[in-house]
Amino acid sequence: MEILGIVVFALGILISIALHEAGHMWSARAFGMKVTRFFIGFGPTLFAFRRRGVEYGVKAIPAGAFVKIVGMTPQDDDVEPGDEHRAMWRYPVWKRTIVLASGSLTHFALGLVILWFTFAFVALPQPERLESGPVTIETVAECTEPRVEYDPTTGGLKRCDPAVDPPSVAAAMGLRPGDTIVAFNGQPVDGWDWLTERVRAAGGQTVSVTVQRGDETFTRTGTLPTVLRLKPEVLDSDRPASTITDADLEPVGVLGVSPRTPTGVYGPGRAFALTGEQTVAMFSGTFAAIAKFPQKVPKLWAALTGEPRDPETPISVIGASLIGGEAFAAGEFPFFLMLLALLNFFVGIFNLVPLLPLDGGHIAIAWFEKARSWLYARLGRADPGRVDYMKLMPLTYAVILLFGGFTLLTVAADIVNPISLFP
């Protein structure tokens, strides 16, 4: 299943890249620019055909796609006699901007469609439903540690040891994952927070827990231990576990269960609002991730030398496909789709970075030419004309080298020390 998931995810990426190039082609042809080729893949041609003056085909290496628009820059020598008026660089800057940005816009549209489909038709966790009605148990703790402590070996909080610590009250009661707690001390349960508040307040007391298991409903009793746990305000903070002190703890009761988050389908209507919220969150996260790229390079290099891989380090298409395959095999289809949507947003945003050879670099030059011509006209000076792309080639090669090196680094890290979210 994991191999199938990797193939499906990689195919999704290839389709999105092909549609990116198709976006360039469709918008260019709509404006009358001449398009001569559209291919999926690189290397030797497997098959090709011509239609309405465009050669379409598939090549042997499925590592992307490309489209050929005649005359992207004034320096291009691919304009045949009689086609000068259809050369891309001769069109108004706003039309060229639409053509150049249409690839990224296609990625954004794909991301939106994937998110909307996911929210509309896929069963997703709905944590808000935890705050009303009975609580279904996800896990039952084997034991209960008397106090919260920092564990330097894991960098987190120390877990209880069944060989040393006493069994949890839930385990002693015989509660199981899948059981639904319908009442606590005779009162109907009204959500996880409601239950947590009463359990924490009942340390040292004998309590009753009414459970539904299938068609059977029964009540068990037990005495909740009083243990030292984190205060609610500390739980809600992002403080590192190593900074926890006695002042952050308080005596509370513990039952020893964790809740199962309800799942459900939001439906097509509610999906629009949720898609908007998730898109804003993903765009914000993408911009933040791109800004942190430089500081992640040492961590990527460290992952190559055998240190544990930081799950927040960038991943390549290979790494994304591996994670997608894991999610597919684990049945985490919502995560699979969300990751595909996020990847489309990332590629769309990154492609608009104003550096050659990215589309954003071509857009920046087009508007620089427009602004410079306007300024020279106001100053009464002759129009300096078009930017000479040949003079920018050293900078372009430097960007290619930089991006290429970073890509090779992420690919190597994903092969040697991949991120695994579903072990």
Checking 216-224 for CB contacts under 8 A at 24+ apart, the result is 217/182, 219/183, 220/173, 220/174, 220/175, 221/173, 222/169, 222/172, 222/173, 223/169, 224/169, 224/199, 224/253, 224/254, 224/255
**Do 130 and 192 meet the contact criterion of CB atoms below 8 Å apart?**
yes
Do 396 and 127 touch, CB atoms closer than 8 A?
no
In single-letter form, the type of residue at position 310 comes to: D
Specify the length of the chain in residues: 423
**AA letter at 68:** K
Asked whether 65 and 21 are in contact (CB, 8 A), the reply is yes
- Among candidate residues 2, 21, 250, 312, the one labeled active-site is 21
H or E element at residue 198: helix 192-201
Please say if 21 is a catalytic residue: yes
For residues 27 and 37, give the distance between their C-alpha atoms in angstroms, rounded to a whole number. 14
Dihedral (Cα; 269, 272, 278, 283), 10-degree rounding: 170
Question: In 153-175, which positions are buried (b, 16+ CB within 10 angstroms) versus exposed (e)?
Answer: eeeeeeebeeeebebbbbbebeb
CA angle 16, 304, 353 (to 5 degrees): 40
* Residue 150, strand partner residues: 157
| Token pair recorded at residue 181 | 């707690």
Classified as helix, coil or strand, 210 is strand
DSSP state, residue 191: -
Q: Extract the tokens encoding 29.
A: 């042809």
| Residues identified as active-site | 21
